[in-house]
Structure 1
Amino acid sequence: MTPARIEFRGIGKRYGTVQAVKPLDLVVEGGTLVTLLGPSGCGKTTLLRMIAGLEAPSEGRILIGGRDVTDLPPGERNVSMVFQSYALFPHMTVLENVAYGLVSSGLSRRAAARRAEAALDGVGLPGFGPRQTFEMSGGQQQRVALARALVLEPEVLLFDEPLSNLDARLRRSMRDDIRALQQRLGVTVVYVTHDQGEALAVSDRIVVMRNAGIAQAGTPMELYVQPDTVFVATFMGEANHVRGMIEAIEGPLATVAAGPLQMRLPHRGLPMGPCDLILRPEAVRLAQDGPLPAAVRRATYMGAQIEYRLATPIGDLLAIMPSAGPTWQAGDDARAALRPEGVVLVRADM
């Protein structure tokens, strides 16, 4: 089966006078995992629920695999959804939970049980069918919810904040499992989260949403290395935001000054004059001969790395450096340097 492509054509959603999703166009290529990322209230879950048929759009059309599904009920879309709460039936066994959708669609209980057992094998839970769901850990319950979605062999699989109820270590393990499973099956996945680390780890593409619209879409690397705006840069991981001045433009490069620093950076279509700069923490380096005076306000040991809070002429900066090597303590006077590949000009937020 060819992986299903999802197309949003001018899709929007209003609740009375409130615009939950502004009219937008978006394509999710078949067989890819696309994450909708953004703060609470930005419209990402509403967009996901419109794909599932749980919310009706106020305008526009939704196509899945070339078929217009805008007016179809959820059961006719060949879409499965994994909810944040898992939504397992507590009075049913694990096997009954996974087989429920198949039995409801008319498949015999014996055939449904065989497919449910295969689905449990596929998510790493062989032999768990007779157990009760309340006897299982959070991670195991999440796998049951995933098996229940996959057993229906959907064209599109939807995840709504699936890892938010898990601890940090289990969250890392489950996100790796979800990504590996998606790549093995080749199914189209739309994944909602507000956790940028999670989005970076699992996605082919990320759609950053803000104020009910799309702020920027691209690959994880594109969004981290070349964010368009201050908002996208600061939402896609730690970022230092400082003000600078574009003093000259020559070809694709601009001469940019920020305090005592002067850099040559791609101008990205920005004019001469005041500008916004993003400095990734890993691009800020403490060095005895650096051009920027830096007073160490705080040094936080994080195992493999140390986080430094610095006071500098261009503002307070966060620097992240390996803990293996020279270190500084709070109260030390130091110098800082920047790696140009971690510095980018961005547009100011409107």
Structure 2
Amino acid sequence: MSASQTGAEVRLIGIGKRYGKVTAVKPLDLTIEGGTLVTLLGPSGCGKTTLLRMIAGLEQPTEGRLLIGDEDMTLLSAGERNVSMVFQSYALFPHMSVLDNVAYGLVSSGLRRRDAQEKAEAALETVGLKGFGARLPSELSGGQQQRVAVARALVLQPRVLLFDEPLSNLDARLRRSMREEIRALQQRLGLTVVYVTHDQSEALAVSDRIVVMRNAEIAQAGTPEELYAQPESVFVATFMGEANHLRGTIERVENGMASVALDALRFALPARGLPPGPVDVVARPEAIRLAAEGAEGMAGRITRATYMGSHAEYVVSTPLGELFVIAPRQRTLLPKGSAVAVMLDVEGVVIVRP
């Protein structure tokens, strides 16, 4: 496998999919730059897997066009697209050796067996499985089987590599190491990768850009940092990690900054085009600070306290409702029932549309 491999740009132009009267994907536009990893993120039934399968050629769009590079692939079959897909189930042949599993696609396309196996050996080395070729899939761990599935996709030198919930069958620790391996491989080979998951932390860890989907359409697309720090809606904010949804009031707007009232608290926040009046506010749990009763801030009372090793988690009852708070590790956990003063760091607070 050479490091010179460069992925192709993928462009979806007004692409949509209906099954009878059911709309699986509303017509949408999306450009995936060559050599980047873009994640389609969203809850079950939002359309992300249907979109992935349309890129793969496993589903035909009802409308719109699909371009890979400069070529219109809309009507081409999966086999004509030079796109490889890694499935959630890995789909390895249990009776074949690891080497034969990886070489299968090449042999099927007419390459001589010896040449196919040489390429398969190189692909296995690329994913860190040199010397595993003679084993059966049943003799491998879940993480190793995942790597075999990736090698089988890579050996075809695809212009686009697709992942459908690839880590959902692995335990938490293995998921973390595998997502790091997939990201490192993508960057080293310059692959274009489209990656489907419903796991926010996975999306944040691997992506150049994230496309958050809801109700068969794109809710917001951007870098991980943009989506976490500047969500455009309550849905995106709460889907991109823990978030407290508060109701406040914009008292006035000057020079693009809004004076926002949250009970006794006052903030100057970017207005984001919103006028004075009631407003939805999102506060990240790590942006909430607790101090002793009587300190500056809003009065609150701890209703739940949980020691998490590296940090503490609290639920605090306030005039704004219950707030979920993540606090740095302290020597002693604040006990349930403690009266506290609550303050918010502006950096973790943002105005959003409902």
> What TM-score do you get using the length of structure 1 for normalisation?
0.98
Counterpart in 1 of 2:27?
23
Q: Is the 8 A contact 1:304 1:324 kept in 2?
A: no
CA distance in 2, matches of 1:333, 1:219: 39
Following superposition, the deviation at residue 301 of structure 1 comes to: 1.0
Counterpart in 2 of 1:154?
158
Map 1:277-292 onto structure 2 (within 5 A).
277-288=281-292, 289-292=295-298
Map 1:1-350 onto structure 2 (within 5 A).
2-288=6-292, 289-324=295-330, 327-348=333-354
Following superposition, the deviation at residue 96 of structure 1 comes to: 0.5
Amino acid at match of 1:310: V
CA distance in 1, matches of 2:126, 2:6: 21
Q: Is the 8 A contact 1:286 1:336 kept in 2?
A: yes
Q: Which runs of 5+ in 2 are unaligned?
A: none
Q: Percent identity?
A: 69
CA distance in 2, matches of 1:100, 1:167: 28
Amino acid at match of 1:134: S
Superposition CA RMSD, Å: 0.8
Q: Is the 8 A contact 1:163 1:171 kept in 2?
A: yes
Following superposition, the deviation at residue 2 of structure 1 comes to: 4.4
1:125-156 CA distance string (max 9 Å, x none): 11000001011111110000000000000000
SS of the residue corresponding to residue 343 of structure 2 reads: strand
SS of the residue corresponding to residue 96 of structure 2 reads: coil
CA distance in 2, matches of 1:263, 1:313: 17
SS of the residue corresponding to residue 122 of structure 2 reads: helix
Q: Which runs of 5+ in 1 are unaligned?
A: none
Q: Is the 8 A contact 2:312 2:330 kept in 1?
A: no
CA distance in 1, matches of 2:234, 2:195: 24
CA distance in 2, matches of 1:149, 1:324: 47
Amino acid at match of 2:242: E
1:236-295 CA distance string (max 9 Å, x none): 000000100111111110111111111111110011100000000000011122411111
CA distance in 1, matches of 2:52, 2:22: 18
Following superposition, the deviation at residue 325 of structure 1 comes to: 5.0
**C-alpha distance 2-140 of structure 1, shift in aligned 2 (>3 A):** closer
Amino acid at match of 1:124: G
Length, aligned pairs only: 348
CA distance in 2, matches of 1:2, 1:107: 23
Following superposition, the deviation at residue 327 of structure 1 comes to: 3.6
CA distance in 1, matches of 2:7, 2:54: 19
Following superposition, the deviation at residue 107 of structure 1 comes to: 0.6
CA distance in 1, matches of 2:316, 2:278: 23
Amino acid at match of 1:195: D
CA distance in 1, matches of 2:60, 2:190: 28
Which one is further off, 320-329 or 275-284?
Answer: 320-329
CA distance in 1, matches of 2:180, 2:18: 35
CA distance in 2, matches of 1:327, 1:57: 55
Following superposition, the deviation at residue 329 of structure 1 comes to: 1.2
Q: Is the 8 A contact 2:250 2:258 kept in 1?
A: yes
SS of the residue corresponding to residue 24 of structure 2 reads: strand
SS of the residue corresponding to residue 205 of structure 2 reads: helix
1:20-76 CA distance string (max 9 Å, x none): 000000000000000000000000000000000000000000000110000111111
CA distance in 2, matches of 1:208, 1:35: 8
Q: Is the 8 A contact 1:296 1:334 kept in 2?
A: yes
Q: Is the 8 A contact 2:6 2:192 kept in 1?
A: no
> What TM-score do you get using the length of structure 2 for normalisation?
0.97
CA distance in 1, matches of 2:336, 2:184: 43
SS of the residue corresponding to residue 132 of structure 2 reads: coil
SS of the residue corresponding to residue 324 of structure 1 reads: coil
- Moved segments of 4+, more than 2 Å: 324-327
CA distance in 2, matches of 1:241, 1:10: 33
